[in-house]
Chains A and B, each alone.
Chain A
Amino acid sequence: MTATQSLLAPPRLSPRLFAVWRRNFLVWRKLALPSIVGNLADPVIYMLGLGYGLGMLVPQVEGVSYIAFLAGGTLAYSTMNAATFETLYSGFSRMHVQKTWEAIMNAPVALDDIVAAELVWAASKSCLAGTAILAVIAVFGFAASPLALAAIPVVFLTGLCFAALGLIMTALAPSYDFFMYYFTLFITPMTLLSGVFFPQGQLPDGLRAVAACLPLSHAVELIRPLLLGQIPGHIGLHLGVLAVITVAAFWTALILTRRRLLN
């Protein structure tokens, strides 16, 4: 097999990836409480602040109070943020700064396992944070239906999707500064276009077409109805888009990471 072929090869994974996942989990567990509070505080403050503050001016959005509308969007975008931060900043630290990946590769663990473990770990962490946010939302009474529990696996899939996209950036990054471009050019505009803060119907037609392709739109389309106690429309489409982006982005990230570390 030539070097180029092996760079493009499909992922070859082993159960050892769980040992790598466990390493990240054990580090997280040491600082679990501050970590959850950190992931929780910002979105909850925004949700309550905007929801009650702006909600005074906006009587109803799509038939519900503004804060109830905002709750689903908040859960979706904070999941995206948690998965993105984990793969960008923490992942880059482990890969580049602390040389953790290099140490692990000297053991019988392949780079594919490590990148897959980072993917699943970032999704797990964002899911832990997302579940905490969902609990707060439920306490405030904006997730009364048992259907809201079905949002948890959707949150996990959303985490996988943004972790996979984040891993592409990590594989390309020369330094931490590089990640600023990803946030300002991709994450922030996407948050504004994906129906987190206002319905996508408010967007001009051209932008609406672009917005419909964004992964966060699909996460919002699934999570918001579930929190409101409704079955989302086009479930297969939304899940499918998130799954396809996850697989394609993960494979791309894997190729780029192999090129970076195995050459």
Chain B
Amino acid sequence: MPLEISGLVKRFGQGADAKEVVRGLDLSLRRGECFALLGPNGAGKTTTLRCALGLTTPSAGQIRLAGLPVPAQAREARARVGVVPQLDSLDPDFTCAENLIVFAGYFGIRDSEIRPRVPELLAFAGLEGKDNARIQSLSGGMKRRLTLARALVNKPELLILDEPTTGLDPQARHLIWERLRRLTAEGTTILLTTHFMDEAERLAHRLAILDQGRILVQGSPRDVIAEHIEPQVVEVFGEWDNSAGQSASGAADWAARHAGALSRRCEISGETAFCYTDDAAPLLAHLAHQPGLRTLHRPANLEDVFLKLTGRELRD
């Protein structure tokens, strides 16, 4: 198996100041799948990846990466893994091609072996002909794509990406998604972390939602949505002219009066009421007679599950 984690615990600090960032995490990736780790900031995603790569010693638990025990044989295991880190770490002193060649050297790959593959790797990243381009001249999206190409110099069986599309424009995100799909189609296993639910919903065969160091749910995006949330959502917002003819008030007042009877569950966030229901028809019929209130009716998605499970408070 590409990655197996059981009972992973990671504490930082000692004694009373100790902070448990990962608290008993089990995870196992199947060969050839794309697995997404979702979670708010501080959920333990990056720490889990660092433990998996043997870059920090777990406080407890077992890890096998590419079939090898980690951290004991982390170096050998990493030889078969590619990593796209969260922060850009390309070598600014080198050109695009030199970045790939020098990085291959860290895997013990000879120049004569990697040089003929450089055009192919750059083409995969949509950077044809950029061999001699300086890193400073690349856009954010191009740098991320070059980092992806760099992670492939050793033809990894497992590719780990930590927030691969954070900060990219839609065009760049779509290109990365397309390349990742191509890699899984060719048999590469992918583990990625992301804040973007649509990214996980599109790419991942399976996903896990992580919060406070524990996995809350795990499964295919469709199953997770089906199991953990009502299928329909009606978002209600705007001014509410209530029937008593008093002055206008907000969607929250409307929800307090009516949402309980018309939806299975209702959450208020700011000025918007999120009504979750199995059948939206009665709710929509009622709302059609509430002048001033505006509605958005849509199927429930992963973000709804995520917010239901991890709450709506800010995490930073």
- Please report A residues at the B interface, Cβ cutoff 8 Å: 1, 3, 6, 14, 16, 19-20, 22-23, 26-27, 30, 98-100, 102-110, 262-263
Contact = CB atoms under 8 A, between A and B. Distances in A.
Interface string B74-117: 01101100010101111111100010001101111000000000
A222 B87 CA distance: 46
Given A106-B53, A108-B75, A99 B87 contact: yes
B75 A14 contact: yes
B108 A106 contact: no
A26 B108 CA distance: 16
Contact of B78 (A26, A98, A100, A106): A106
Given A107-B107, A108-B78, A108-B107, A27 B93 contact: yes
B270 to A, nearest CB: 37
Interface residues of B, number: 30
Given A19-B108, A263-B56, A102 B75 contact: no
Contacts of B94: 26-27
Given A26-B98, A26-B102, A108 B85 contact: no
Interface of B: 12, 53, 55-57, 59, 75-76, 78-79, 83, 85, 87-94, 98, 102-103, 105-108, 150-151, 154
A20 B79 CA distance: 16
A20 B55 contact: no
A3 B108 CA distance: 28
A23 B103 CA distance: 9
Given A99-B85, A110-B75, A20 B106 contact: yes
A103 B85 CA distance: 8
Dominant SS among interface residues on chain B: loop
A23 B150 CA distance: 15
Given A20-B106, A107-B103, A100 B91 contact: yes
A100 B151 CA distance: 14
Given A100-B91, A103-B89, A23 B55 contact: no
A105 B76 contact: no
A91 B154 CA distance: 26
A30 B85 CA distance: 27
A263 B51 CA distance: 10
A23 B105 contact: yes
Contacts of A26: 94, 98, 102
A16 B151 CA distance: 18
A262 B87 contact: no
Nearest to B49: A106
Contact of A102 (B56, B78, B89, B150): B89
B18 to A, nearest CB: 12
19 contacts: A3-B57, A6-B57, A14-B75, A19-B105, A19-B108, A22-B105, A98-B89, A98-B91, A100-B89, A100-B91, A102-B89, A103-B85, A103-B91, A107-B78, A107-B79, A107-B107, A107-B154, A108-B78, A108-B79
Contacts of A19: 102, 105-106, 108
